[in-house]
Structure 1
Amino acid sequence: MTPAARVQAAIDILDQVVAAARGQGASADRLAAEWFRQRRFVGSKDRRAIRELVWSAIRACGEVPASGRAALLRLAIDDPSLASLFDGSTYGPAPIAAGEPVAEAGVMPRWLADTMAASGLDTNEQAALLGRAPLDIRVNTLKTDRDTLASDLPVAAETTAAPHGLRLPLGTAAESWPAFADGLFEVQDTGSQLACAALGAMPGESVVDLCAGAGGKTLALAAAMGNVGRLLACDIDRARLQRLAPRAERAGALAETRLLDPGREPEALADWQGQADAVLVDAPCSGTGTWRRNPEARWRLTPAAVQRYQAMQARVLDVAAGLVRPGGRIGFITCSLLDAEGADGLAAFLARHPGFRVDPVVAPLGRAHGGGWRLSPYHDGTDGFFFARIVRV
């Protein structure tokens, strides 16, 4: 492809991304993958260049752009070499017309920037949410240890602050390695590993992963427990929960699964009421702490959506409260940095449940915040998280 044709291809993909953001459609990753699937003639070098243009444009536009072309023009404003490719050539974009719409520059929509600031995140913190995420893995201690795996990997790996974490060079195809197929590690951000570890799951305990999804944190819990005790993974999404079984088999992890009906979780978990030593609540949220991986997500978020997430979090935490035995604990995790989905939710839970108190968390990265602990890309080089440990007294 010519450089101009790459620009037009990026515009075509961005048009789909913008439409999906407005209509809550597919993610940018899925849209780009489908675009390339339908055009198998596009070579790997062209694919990399097109993807770089697409994601650079997404990161450059604070508000949802009017079109893919407007998004690319935002980049061209500061890059004369890119602007010169709007030349009207075959398969290339039309020349830039005087006064045509150009997307507004910025880190995020203004209402979100204000909400972030009210949550204690300054402009540096906000800008870091759109950086490039590292590639971290969690060593599966059911099968190996960190030093052994690091010495056997085909690339150099750095240890992270998580006890079993390693950081690999960006772009590493780690999931294609035999070590991954053998279950020696899972791809998991260091922040996610630390948040999960804060629950303190131990061998012999009865533990519930209440919002297990595809089971990434379930596998970490199984490893922490050494497969000794009882571990139950639950979710309301059948398709996601079904992905846990093959992952657990690969990892050698032991966990039961249970599909829940929304709104009827206590009935489905009647046998666990007041029995759990620990319950992990990886609560539904807006995912503002993971924007480095899907930056277009900030275009999809609305104040009404944040309110819905607050309500869902409150519901799940109330379910968790019924499962915990006296002296047991809840691990509340959210991968959002908005206080509305973290510190405020924790305070509201404690007000509803006076029989619970916060057990202070101290982690090797991050800082205390709102009764819990906060990790952020700017300060810690991890995804953004708020987490807290709550004990039933």
Structure 2
Amino acid sequence: MTPAARTQAAIELLDAIIAAAREGGAAADTLIARYFASRRYAGSKDRRAIRELVYTAVRQCGEPPSSGRGAMLLVAQSDPELASRFDGSQHGPAAIEPGEPVAERGVVPAWIARELERSGIQSASWPALVERAPLDVRARRDVDARELLSAFPDAQPIAHLERGWRLPAGSDVASLAGAVEVQDAGSQAVSLAAQVGPGMTVIDLCAGAGGKTLALGDTMEDRGRIVACDVDRGRLSRLAPRAERANLTIVESRLLDPGREAQRLGDLQAGADLVFVDAPCSGTGTWRRNPEARWRLTPERLSRFVAMQAHVLEVAAPLVKPGGAIVYVVCSLLDAEGKDQVDNFLSAHAGWTAADPTLPIGAAHGRGVRLSPAQDQSDGFFVARLVAPC
């Protein structure tokens, strides 16, 4: 493909991504994969260049742009070589017209900016929210990570994580599945708040595909019991093969019925040493990986997440044995989903207290700890450890 044709392809993809964000359609990565699946003529260099153009444009537009062309014209304003590709050639974009609409440069939509400021996230740190993330992995406790990753000369241990390693973005670690798990440094760090050990009974209440379940099981040295739960059958189904590859035998999956979770968890009432709640959230801390997600978030959607989080905490509380704990985690920087949720829970549950999560990174925030991309070079999280009365 010519450089002009690559630019036009990026514009077409941006149009699809903008429409999907507006209408609740597929994520950008999915749309990009579908696009190239139907265009076999695009070689690996073409795909890489087009993808880079797409994400560069997405990261530079705070508000959802009106068109893919307008977004690409914004990038072209500071890239003369890119601007020259608007040449009207057969497969390239039309020439730039005087006064043509150009997307507005920014980091976040205006309403999210207000929420971030209310949550104590200052504007100077916003650009870090959409920078490209490195590739972090967690090595299994019984493997020699240094030897295993010797084929990756740029791999570096993450100082504050015993089994964490950082690789350049795009590194292919598929061949190491089971021995290492792709997991952001922040995600690895918040898992430490669980303070689990061998022999414990642990419930991972919002397990998804099980990234944190695997980290907990590894720390427990595959001794005890982990009940991994979720309402999403598709995501939960991916956990069993991952656990098998990781040589974990203590993990069992349990599919829950939304709104009727307690009925499926009756046998676990007051029986868990720990309930790990990685709650559904806005994902404002993960925009480095999914920058178009900030175009999908609306005040109404945020309100639904807040209600869902409060509900999940209510489901979790009766499962904890006296003196046991809930570890509440959201990959969000917004107080509505983190600090405020914990304050509301403690106000409504007499005898429960907040304990120090004792994380190796992050800063105290309210009755928990917050991690941020700007300060911690990780995804953004809020984590709190809530201890049941004895």
Single out whichever of 297-306 and 352-361 deviates more from structure 2.
352-361
Q: 1:162 — aligned with what?
A: 161
State whether structure 2 residue 170 is matched by structure 1 residue 171.
Answer: yes
Q: 2:24 — aligned with what?
A: 24
Q: 2:51 — aligned with what?
A: 51
Q: Say whether the 8 Å CA contact 2:354–2:385 is kept in structure 1.
A: yes
Q: 2:118 — aligned with what?
A: 118
* TM-superposed deviation, 1:10: 0.5
Q: Say whether the 8 Å CA contact 2:154–2:167 is kept in structure 1.
A: yes
* TM-superposed deviation, 1:147: 4.5
Q: Distance in 1 between matches of 2:28 and 2:97?
A: 28
Q: Distance in 2 between matches of 1:74 and 1:156?
A: 33
Q: Distance in 2 between matches of 1:248 and 1:89?
A: 52
State whether structure 2 residue 354 is matched by structure 1 residue 358.
Answer: yes
Spell out, residue by residue over 1:22-60, the C-alpha distance to the aligned partner (whole angstroms, 9 max, x if none).
001001111011101100111111111111110000011
Q: Which runs of 5+ in 1 are unaligned?
A: none
Spell out, residue by residue over 1:108-147, the C-alpha distance to the aligned partner (whole angstroms, 9 max, x if none).
1011111111111111221100101011111111x32544
Q: 2:129 — aligned with what?
A: 129
Secondary structure at the aligned position of 1:197 is classed as: helix
Which one of the candidate residues 243, 249, 271 is aligned to 2:244?
A: 249
Which one of the candidate residues 221, 242, 259 is aligned to 2:216?
A: 221
Q: Distance in 2 between matches of 1:114 and 1:154?
A: 42
State whether structure 2 residue 299 is matched by structure 1 residue 300.
Answer: no
* Matched letter for residue 162 of structure 2: P
Q: Say whether the 8 Å CA contact 1:124–1:378 is kept in structure 2.
A: no
Q: Say whether the 8 Å CA contact 2:201–2:271 is kept in structure 1.
A: yes
Secondary structure at the aligned position of 2:353 is classed as: strand
Alignment of structure 1 residues 275-290 onto 2, 5 Å: 275-290=271-286
State whether structure 2 residue 318 is matched by structure 1 residue 325.
Answer: no
Alignment of structure 1 residues 252-271 onto 2, 5 Å: 252-254=247-249, 255-271=251-267
Q: 1:373 — aligned with what?
A: 369
Q: 2:229 — aligned with what?
A: 234
* Matched letter for residue 296 of structure 2: R
Distance 1:4 1:156, change over 3 A: closer
Q: 2:13 — aligned with what?
A: 13
Q: Say whether the 8 Å CA contact 1:285–1:341 is kept in structure 2.
A: yes
* Matched letter for residue 31 of structure 1: L
Q: Distance in 2 between matches of 1:91 and 1:149?
A: 45
Q: Distance in 1 between matches of 2:368 and 2:58?
A: 32
C-alpha RMSD of the superposition? 1.1
Q: Say whether the 8 Å CA contact 1:87–1:95 is kept in structure 2.
A: yes
* TM-superposed deviation, 1:169: 2.2
Single out whichever of 335-344 and 76-85 deviates more from structure 2.
76-85
* TM-superposed deviation, 1:355: 2.3
Spell out, residue by residue over 1:319-350, the C-alpha distance to the aligned partner (whole angstroms, 9 max, x if none).
11010011000110000101111111111111
Q: Say whether the 8 Å CA contact 1:376–1:384 is kept in structure 2.
A: yes
Secondary structure at the aligned position of 1:278 is classed as: strand
Q: Say whether the 8 Å CA contact 1:191–1:385 is kept in structure 2.
A: yes
Q: Distance in 2 between matches of 1:345 and 1:242?
A: 29
* TM-superposed deviation, 1:361: 2.1
* TM-superposed deviation, 1:362: 2.3
Secondary structure at the aligned position of 2:219 is classed as: helix
State whether structure 2 residue 89 is matched by structure 1 residue 89.
Answer: yes
Q: 2:179 — aligned with what?
A: 184
State whether structure 2 residue 339 is matched by structure 1 residue 340.
Answer: no
Q: 2:66 — aligned with what?
A: 66
* Matched letter for residue 309 of structure 1: F
Spell out, residue by residue over 1:141-191, the C-alpha distance to the aligned partner (whole angstroms, 9 max, x if none).
1x32544544x444342111222111112221011x2x32xx211110110
Identical counterparts, % of pairs: 57
Q: Say whether the 8 Å CA contact 2:192–2:359 is kept in structure 1.
A: no
Distance 1:148 1:47, change over 3 A: closer
Q: Which runs of 5+ in 2 are unaligned?
A: none
Q: Distance in 1 between matches of 2:255 and 2:373?
A: 33
* TM-superposed deviation, 1:229: 0.9
Single out whichever of 226-235 and 76-85 deviates more from structure 2.
76-85
* Matched letter for residue 350 of structure 1: L
Q: Distance in 2 between matches of 1:89 and 1:265?
A: 58
TM-score (structure 2 length as normaliser): 0.97
* Matched letter for residue 244 of structure 1: L
Q: How many residues align?
A: 387
Q: Distance in 1 between matches of 2:244 and 2:35?
A: 33
Which one of the candidate residues 277, 295, 313 is aligned to 2:309?
A: 313
Q: 2:189 — aligned with what?
A: 194
Secondary structure at the aligned position of 2:194 is classed as: coil
* TM-superposed deviation, 1:18: 0.6
Q: Distance in 2 between matches of 1:203 and 1:107?
A: 44
Q: Say whether the 8 Å CA contact 1:199–1:331 is kept in structure 2.
A: yes
Secondary structure at the aligned position of 1:198 is classed as: helix
Spell out, residue by residue over 1:81-123, the C-alpha distance to the aligned partner (whole angstroms, 9 max, x if none).
2112111111111111122211111001011111111111111
Secondary structure at the aligned position of 1:386 is classed as: strand
TM-score (structure 1 length as normaliser): 0.96
Alignment of structure 1 residues 198-209 onto 2, 5 Å: 198-209=193-204
